[in-house]
């Protein structure tokens, strides 16, 4: 069964990294379903039953988003609140039990900023800990994340382009595993 890549990027066409990731995954429609909730629900009115069915029809959920202010884009938080509900995912519901959940995340600053000794005094894994906690709560299997660091760097720099190309290959390997 295919993997669902749930994208929560309000402006994917402006993101060099996410645009590359989506373009590569889209080349394999037999393996991946790409679903951008920001495009699907620009008004914020999420079709809860449709989203739940989409998740149920896939073996794995990969949530892809840019870190906005060290958190998720607002619509992703709303999606979590609306879709991952009592009676479906927990509290008698078992739809997420055993489902593998992973993250694909872009971060504005470079990787060294996301360390205990770095500028943020916190790792990216630490910022993403709420996802792991939610997965434990709903009995899903949180299986880590793939990241691209440094989205604020100069996108026209040839070294940056090489970095994106390498990271996109790593992203595709992450998806395959």
Confidence of residue 74 (pLDDT cuts 50, 70, 90): very high
Q: State the average pLDDT over residues 1-15.
A: 92
pLDDT at 151: 82
Whole-angstrom Cα distance, residue 90 to residue 143? 19
**pLDDT tens digits for range 35-64:** 999 999 999 999 999 999 999 999 999 999
Cα 154 to Cα 149, 162, 164: the distances in Å are 12, 12, 12
Mean pLDDT of the chain: 93
Q: State the average pLDDT over residues 128-155.
A: 93
Contacts of 4 (CB under 8 A, 6+ apart): 32, 33, 35, 54, 55, 57, 58, 60, 61, 62
Whole-angstrom Cα distance, residue 129 to residue 65? 15
Domains in the chain, ordered, with CATH?
A: 3-176 (3.40.50.360)
**pLDDT greater than 80 at residue 152:** no
pTM value?
0.94
Whole-angstrom Cα distance, residue 93 to residue 138? 9
Q: Residue 47 — φ and ψ, nearest 5°?
A: -80, 95
pLDDT at 7: 98
Name the β-bridge partners of 63: 6, 103
**pLDDT tens digits for range 87-133:** 999 999 999 999 999 999 999 888 888 888 878 788 899 999 999 99
């Amino acid at each position: 069964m295919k993997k669902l890549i749930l994208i929560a990027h309000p402006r994917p066409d402006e993101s060099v990294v996410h645009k590359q990731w989506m373009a590569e995954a889209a080349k394999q429609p037999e393996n991946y379903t790409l679903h951008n909730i920001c495009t699907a629900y620009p008004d914020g009115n999420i079709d809860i039953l449709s989203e739940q069915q989409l998740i149920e029809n896939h073996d794995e959920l990969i949530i892809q988003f840019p870190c906005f202010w060290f958190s998720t884009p607002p619509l992703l938080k709303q999606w979590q609140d609306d879709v991952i509900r009592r009676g479906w995912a927990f509290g008698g519901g078992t739809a997420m039990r055993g489902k593998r959940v992973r993250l694909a995340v872009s971060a504005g600053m470079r990787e060294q900023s996301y360390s205990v000794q770095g500028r943020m005094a916190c790792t990216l894994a630490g910022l993403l800990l709420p996802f792991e906690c939610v997965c434990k709560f709903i009995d899903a299997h949180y299986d880590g994340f793939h990241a691209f660091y440094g989205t604020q760097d100069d996108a026209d720099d040839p070294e940056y382009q090489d970095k994106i190309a390498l990271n996109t290959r790593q992203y595709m390997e992450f998806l395959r595993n």
